[in-house]
Chain A
């Protein structure tokens, strides 16, 4: 057995274990050297990224992969799954890829960005823990495990949001975040307990196989969907997003986006896989609820973003609006899937909608992430985050301006960048469900353009202001991190079909085809 085969075989465990090990070694290494610690964290994330990539390539080719902890014997005995296992299908691999890319960029970005702060050993430990939680959430095949990883992510991100404890708003944002995420997680646990009480199983595949959509199941479904949607920042439960994203250090806002999307992944996993066997029952149209929530999310997100004057808060509301597209698209897919006369169309626009939604997860994280990095760069250079005080910075920060332009065009769906291809998929598919949805979505996109044009005008354009005459371009590591993300944006924008066929389509297939996920139960491991 070659080393590559060994790594591939062990990769689901190693993807969690290596950053976890790194998280606990970071304080020790931090005592020796600061530079060494930064390098160590980047190396750990790079190795994890390598593992994620080989695992994802394997999964895209051959279908879901399960990894059983403890022992490979007696996984199912007496019709009960008695071991904890990770199940990585194409959607999990897809989410893991985005998460690790953005975490890697954040680690590089932090090198210079956090250079002058104290307590960095804890910062890097918690950052790795957050990555562990995020990757665990998307890869686990066990409901209780999902809850545990959800909590790991919340605790680590809360401590990081409140990292700048000398700022009152940051501490308050951290407190709000932990209250919201704890209550959300507790209701998720409640739902898991309801399911466990009925079916004596925690394994997602086993639960999906035996679920009957009884009254208690309905309660569990609502609890899971609403609690995870709150953690995902869907209107009207989105208010914490503005506080948390706006007050966290920019490098943390980056990973927070990916963590938020992992919660949305939870919503999709619950709807399509856990309840996949019963969601096709004709009388249920949760899809329309998702569509309406998505519309609200888009509209309220853009209107609130337009009136903001704090740059990071503005981007945070922009991120909320972007979440609306994902929810709208997946909701459309769910509506089509569950309406009997439309079931034939699932290969048609329902599938296109889900493809668009999943593609948009990737694009959203990259675009909003790039904008957050630019906002962090502006803060780093000027120590100022209010848009009313910024101005004329394009003269001093040429590269940052270019990166901001790329982010601006991508997030508002201007061709030829990546935002356009996913939004085109979404517009065309939701148009067939109802043309008004498409019109509202395009309107929201235009408003996103207007919002970020406002930022561009007030922060980068205009005459040179005397108080910013000393401002210099940000250090190289921050430029490198922005460059990586911007390059990905341009690459995906220029070759959308390459990405859609090879990465997005397997993920969309995995989402709507839950039998593939349950395969190991019936077919054995």
Chain B
């Protein structure tokens, strides 16, 4: 019964067994925990060591420090602006356009299957 549970999943050429992964995870966790232990001795609460450092600028109130969702991945969206603009133009939200896409795919597939 237990054997059935822990059997390895064969994926054609590879394999996957979560138990191996969990063992690895535990080992890495132990290593990290030990390394953390070394640093803990020099960590002092309440000193300037624990305060955030913003290139010498004063820190804002806490609620203004939160990075909003639309500010995330700014560089990526800026670099991919051309494709995002095309896609935004595609997603008009107009139901007639939705049906138009359906008709287009229908037409393309008709041609494709008709040629075969």
Chain A residues near B (Cβ < 8 Å): 175-176, 179-180, 183-184, 187, 218-219, 221-223, 225-227, 229-230, 236-237, 239-240, 242-243, 283-286, 289, 300, 303-304, 306-307, 309, 348-349, 352, 356, 387-388, 390-392, 415-416, 420-421, 424-425, 428-429, 432, 450, 454-455, 457-459, 462-466, 493-498, 500-501
Assess the A180–B99 pair: CB atoms within 8 A.
yes
User: Which residues of chain B from 11 to 56 have any CB-CB distance to chain A below 8 Å in the complex?
Assistant: 11-14, 16-19, 21-22, 25
Rank and list the top 9 A-B pairs by shortest CB-CB distance, nearest first. Answer: A387-B69, A416-B18, A463-B62, A458-B69, A462-B66, A497-B9, A352-B12, A497-B7, A391-B66
Q: Which residues of B contact A230 (CB under 8 A)?
A: 102, 105
Complex Cα distance, B105 from A187, in Å, reads: 13
Q: Which residues of B contact A356 (CB under 8 A)?
A: 11
Complex Cα distance, B109 from A227, in Å, reads: 12
Assess the B80–A495 pair: CB atoms within 8 A.
no
Assess the B80–A184 pair: CB atoms within 8 A.
no
A-B contact pairs, 28 of them (CB 8 A): A180-B99, A183-B99, A226-B102, A226-B105, A230-B102, A236-B101, A237-B98, A285-B116, A303-B84, A304-B87, A306-B76, A306-B77, A352-B11, A388-B68, A424-B11, A424-B14, A424-B16, A432-B12, A450-B73, A455-B69, A457-B72, A462-B66, A463-B63, A464-B62, A466-B63, A497-B9, A498-B4, A500-B9
Contacts A303-B84, A495-B5, A498-B4 given: A284-B72 contact, CB under 8 Å? no
B68 CB contact (under 8 Å) in A242, A429, A458: A458
Complex Cα distance, B6 from A421, in Å, reads: 14
Assess the A222–B69 pair: CB atoms within 8 A.
no
Q: Which residues of B contact A289 (CB under 8 A)?
A: 109, 112
Assess the B110–A183 pair: CB atoms within 8 A.
no
B91 CB-CB contact with A under 8 Å: yes
Assess the A463–B66 pair: CB atoms within 8 A.
yes
Assess the B11–A425 pair: CB atoms within 8 A.
yes
User: Which residues of chain B from 85 to 116 have any CB-CB distance to chain A below 8 Å in the complex?
Assistant: 87-88, 90-91, 93, 95, 97-99, 101-102, 104-106, 109-110, 112-114, 116
Assess the A463–B65 pair: CB atoms within 8 A.
yes
Question: Closest CB of chain B to A199's CB: distance in Å?
Answer: 19
Assess the B95–A179 pair: CB atoms within 8 A.
yes
Q: Which residues of B contact A236 (CB under 8 A)?
A: 90, 101, 104-105
Assess the A429–B101 pair: CB atoms within 8 A.
no
- What's the dominant secondary structure at chain B's contact region? helix
User: Which residue of the partner chain A has the closest CB to B104?
Assistant: A236
Residue from the set A187, A223, A226, A349 with the largest chain B CB neighbour count within 10 Å? A226
What total of chain B residues lie within 8 Å of the partner, measured CB to CB? Answer: 53
Assess the A458–B109 pair: CB atoms within 8 A.
no
Assess the B7–A303 pair: CB atoms within 8 A.
no
Complex Cα distance, B56 from A519, in Å, reads: 78
Assess the A239–B14 pair: CB atoms within 8 A.
no
A222 CB contact (under 8 Å) in B5, B21, B88, B113: B113
Q: Which residues of B contact A454 (CB under 8 A)?
A: 69, 72-73
Complex Cα distance, B106 from A233, in Å, reads: 15
Question: Closest CB of chain B to A383's CB: distance in Å?
Answer: 17
- What's the dominant secondary structure at chain A's contact region? helix
User: Which residue of the partner chain B has the closest CB to A359?
Assistant: B9
Q: Which residues of A contact B110 (CB under 8 A)?
A: 219, 222
User: Which residue of the partner chain B has the closest CB to A464?
Assistant: B62
Contacts A306-B77, A415-B21, A495-B5 given: A421-B16 contact, CB under 8 Å? yes
15 further contact pairs, Cβ within 8 A, besides A239-B101, A416-B18: A221-B113, A225-B109, A226-B102, A226-B106, A284-B116, A303-B83, A303-B84, A349-B12, A352-B12, A388-B70, A391-B66, A428-B13, A458-B66, A462-B66, A498-B4
Question: Closest CB of chain A to B4's CB: distance in Å?
Answer: 6
Complex Cα distance, B104 from A236, in Å, reads: 9
B67 CB-CB contact with A under 8 Å: yes
Complex Cα distance, B95 from A450, in Å, reads: 30
Complex Cα distance, B76 from A464, in Å, reads: 27
Assess the B67–A462 pair: CB atoms within 8 A.
yes
A307 CB contact (under 8 Å) in B7, B62, B84, B114: B84
Complex Cα distance, B68 from A236, in Å, reads: 30
Q: Which residues of B contact A300 (CB under 8 A)?
A: 87
Assess the A223–B21 pair: CB atoms within 8 A.
no
Complex Cα distance, B87 from A309, in Å, reads: 16
Complex Cα distance, B10 from A352, in Å, reads: 9
Q: Which residues of A contact B18 (CB under 8 A)?
A: 415-416, 421, 493-496
Assess the B7–A306 pair: CB atoms within 8 A.
no
Q: Which residues of B contact A352 (CB under 8 A)?
A: 11-12
Contacts A462-B65, A497-B8 given: A218-B106 contact, CB under 8 Å? no
User: Which residue of the partner chain B has the closest CB to A234?
Assistant: B105
Assess the B98–A180 pair: CB atoms within 8 A.
yes
Question: Closest CB of chain A to B69's CB: distance in Å?
Answer: 3
Assess the B116–A465 pair: CB atoms within 8 A.
no
Assess the A243–B93 pair: CB atoms within 8 A.
yes
Assess the A180–B95 pair: CB atoms within 8 A.
yes
Q: Which residues of A contact B101 (CB under 8 A)?
A: 236-237, 239
Complex Cα distance, B8 from A421, in Å, reads: 11
User: Which residue of the partner chain A has the closest CB to B109?
Assistant: A222
Q: Which residues of B contact A387 (CB under 8 A)?
A: 68-70
Assess the B73–A306 pair: CB atoms within 8 A.
yes
